[in-house]
Amino acid sequence: MNGTHVTRALATASQAGTAASVVGATVLHVGWAQKFDAVRQTVSDYALDEDADRVFTATVACLSAGSTALLASVVRSRLSVGPTATALLGTWCAGLALCAAFRTDPSDSPPTREGLVHRYACAGAVAALPAAGLLAARRLGRLPALRNVARSLRLTSWASTAAGAAFLVTHLCAQAPSTPAARWISARHGLAERVTLALELGVLGTLAGAVRDGRAHT
């Protein structure tokens, strides 16, 4: 198998890993719909359930493996995204791995070391991916053959950034729900996270599609 085929195979593996994570997330939301509130609670809360924990871990593992395959495909393809964007994509991969390895804290318990690692790893990952997308879009936009990809990547990354900021606001309000408005916003914490994650999957898909279709070889 030559280098081009390996690169495309890695990009396809990335898309397969992302798709598998979507299937896992769907199983969590359907199978434990009566136990978890998707609007209030984050996806990480599924790990606190003895049965859902295994599905959660498998879901994050699939996304982490797919993201790592994407990182490898970007490096092999020599896609002109720049070293900073590549490092940020690696930060996303590392953050996902830590999220799977360390569990979040229950909302009604004091923070633990494990829970803090999970929290900051998730925050780093969520912030890193759209930043990588924006930097990559700037580089790709200079190449005529990749301008459409760059435009799509830029829009998705900005949308993900905005959603991530909204997610941060809900988290801050949840830490200090001192007013009715803050309590209302904090009650949408899980929804804000899910919108953010859905948009970040779009960033991953756009990059993987560019590599797989051979448009990265310019």
Report residue 188 as tokens: 């949408």
In a domain, 218, yes or no: no
Q: Could you count the other beta carbons within 10 Å of the beta carbon of residue 91?
A: 18
Domain of residue 20 covers 3-212
Could you tell me where the DSSP H helices lie in 78-188? 83-101, 113-140, 147-175, 180-186
For the record, the structure tokens of 186 come out as 């904090």
Rg over CA atoms, the chain: 18
Q: What is the pLDDT of residue 91?
A: 96
The DSSP output letter for 106 is P
Query: Which helix H or strand E contains 11, and what residues bound it?
Result: helix 3-31
Q: What tokens does 208 get? A: 């993987």
Number of compact structural domains in the chain: 1
CB-based contact 210:216 (threshold 8 Å) = yes
| pLDDT on residue 213 | 67
Residues 6+ apart with CB under 8 A from 201: 18, 21, 22
In a domain, 171, yes or no: yes
Residue 49 lies in a domain: yes
Residue 9 makes CB contacts below 8 A (sequence gap 6+) with 1
- Residue 60 resides in a domain: yes
Tokens of 207: 């990059």
Q: What is the pLDDT along the chain (218 residues), one digit of tens a residue?
A: 556 788 888 888 999 999 999 999 999 999 999 999 999 999 999 999 988 999 999 999 999 999 999 999 988 887 778 899 999 999 999 999 999 889 888 877 888 999 999 999 999 999 999 999 999 999 888 888 888 888 999 999 999 999 999 999 998 888 777 788 888 988 899 999 999 999 999 999 998 887 776 554 45
In a domain? residue 194: yes
- The answer to the question of residue 98 being in a domain is yes
Whether 13 is covered by a domain: the verdict is yes
User: Residue with structure tokens 């809360």?
Assistant: 45
Contacts of 131 (CB under 8 A, 6+ apart): 85, 88, 157, 161
Establish if 55 belongs to a structural domain: yes
